[in-house]
Amino acid sequence: MHIRQFRVEDSKEVEDLISSILKKEFPDVREAYPESDLKDINAHYAGEREGFFVAIEKGRVVGTVGIKEDDRKQNKALLRRIFVHPDYRGKGYGLALLDKAIEFCKKKGYHSLSFRSTDKMASANNLVQKRGFVERERLYFPLSKEKGVEIIKFVLNLSISPRRENA
């Protein structure tokens, strides 16, 4: 496995990977996670303190993670788009991507890193908790009159070294 900065030629693979996972595994929460950033990743993650990374295996994009600036004054970053192809889960790809994002945030001088997930995304929630993210908030997001989703906010204090728990 190799993790590197996103390149324009990765665009189709990244969009296909994330869209297919959202469609197959989380069809009820797609409204809570608009996919507009996937149409032009370079533009959406272009800030000097932002980045988008891909995990490559056998020449294919098998995982993604993005970092967006969330609050410049308070040096807060937002972890986004952490996805791993189903065939590569449970093999350390998610932790490697997360570690890359945490390392990137520390180099850029962020004090904290937030991750917003849903109650349906148990694997992602467990993943971030393995690296020391703490649940801070839950909000109900209505999708229609009949149903909604619970948004969970996790935060990692970057001035404390993350735990190194295995997958």
Q: Read out DSSP for 47-89?
A: STT-EEEEEEETTEEEEEEEEEEEETTTTEEEEEEEEE-GGGT
Provide the pairing of β-strand 112-118 with 148-157: antiparallel
Position with higher pLDDT, 71 vs 110: 110
Query: What pLDDT is recorded for position 31?
Result: 65
Evaluate whether 131 touches 162 at the Cβ level (below 8 Å). Answer: yes
Q: Give the mean pLDDT of 127-131.
A: 96
- C-beta neighbour count of 162 within 10 angstroms: 19
The CATH class of the 2-157 domain is alpha beta
| Domain residue ranges in the chain | 2-157
Identify the weakest region by mean pLDDT among 42-46, 54-58, 140-144: 140-144
Percent of the chain with pLDDT over 90: 72
